[in-house]
Every structure is written in C-alpha cells, then in structure tokens.
C-alpha cells in the first residue's frame, strides 16, 4: 500500500486529542483502525467511480459521497478483536 502515517504522527494525534500518556499498543491499534477505515472508504469510492464510468479515477465527489453514506456509527468497532493484550508501564510511549 502507499504512504502510511508514522507511529509518531499517530501518537501526536492522540496527544492533541487530550491524552497525556499513550501506550504503544494504543498507537498501533489506532494505526490499524485508520488503515481499515481508509481501505473501506477507498473501496466504496472506487465503486462509485466505476459506476460513474471512471475505472481508474477517484474524485473528491466519490470520497464525499462515501463519507455522506458511511458514518462511524454505522460500523461499530470491535475492541475485543484488538491485538493488544496488556497495557503495562513498559508499553507507554514517551
């Protein structure tokens, strides 16, 4: 796949949201969620582009249509499937 966010960027995003401390597991879990969400949006946008007769070009309108029709509330997150097993002090990113 293409460019990904660095773990540092994801950690900074979490900190900007108000967290003082962040575990490495939390950063990696959010990275996986971002990837999953990006893949879902891209696949749906591609479907809309193909429907509009564009096989290889995704436009802003396709992304906006995807966002309009897909909300985070419509696809709940399954936290029990998270690969994180422990949140010990040694996992805290400093």
44-65 pLDDT, tens digit each: 999 999 999 998 899 999 999 9
Domain contains 25: yes
Domain contains 12: no
Domain contains 6: no
Pairwise CA distance, residues 82 & 29, whole Å: 7
Domain contains 46: yes
Domain contains 81: no
Domain carrying residue 40: 21-71
Domain contains 94: no
CATH number, domain at 65?
Answer: 1.10.20.10
Domains in the chain, number: 1
- Give per-residue pLDDT as tens, 70-94: 665 545 556 555 555 544 444 555 5
Domain contains 43: yes
């Amino acid at each position: 796949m293409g460019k990904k966010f660095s773990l540092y960027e994801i950690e900074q995003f979490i900190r900007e949201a108000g967290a003082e401390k962040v575990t490495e597991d939390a950063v990696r879990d959010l990275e996986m969620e971002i990837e999953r969400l990006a893949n879902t949006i891209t696949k749906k946008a591609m479907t809309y582009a193909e429907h509009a007769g564009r096989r290889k070009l995704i436009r802003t309108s396709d992304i906006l249509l995807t966002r309009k029709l897909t909300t985070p509330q419509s696809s709940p997150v399954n936290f029990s499937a998270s690969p994180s097993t422990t949140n010990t002090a040694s996992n805290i990113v400093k």
